[in-house]
Amino acid sequence: MCRLTRKIHGDSDTTRYFKIGFEAPARSNRISDGVASQGEWPNFGSISVNGISIAPPVWNEPNTYRYHYNTWARPEEELPYTDEQLYWMRAPVAVALHKGENEVVIWKLFRRGYDRDINRQVYK
């Protein structure tokens, strides 16, 4: 399990909108954990602000587009991406921030093998 913390300063109590994502599919071969189960963030991630969990969106197509293999020369390669698969295309998530320091904690499960292959192909 990987943990990241960050402090965000707020000038007043407010609601800010953030793009939150824990994975992006490789556009060259579509390797991805896909759209998460209902009530979960993709790729077993979680996020909290000031100790309050931030709920993921309600997925239109939960548990879909999960490809843990190269899709070259396969029918899956021809499927268009949906907004749910690409976090930057989803609607931003409303997050309540308090005046002063706000602690953001992000957790991400690291799964040996699958994540190692994803990180080598996507994030380098």
pTM above 0.85, yes or no: no
Enter the tokens of residue 20. Answer: 């939150």
44: left (phi over 0), alpha (psi -120 to 50) or beta: left
pLDDT for residue 121: 42
Q: In angstroms, rounded to a whole number, what is the distance separating the alpha carbons of residues 91 and 47? A: 16
Model confidence over 1-35: pLDDT tens digits? 789 999 999 999 999 999 998 887 877 788 888 89
78, 93, 70: which is closest to 20 by C-alpha? 93
The predicted model gives 75-86 an average pLDDT of 87
Scored b (16 or more CB within 10 A) or e, 83-117 reads ebbebeebeebebebeeeebebebebeeeeeebee
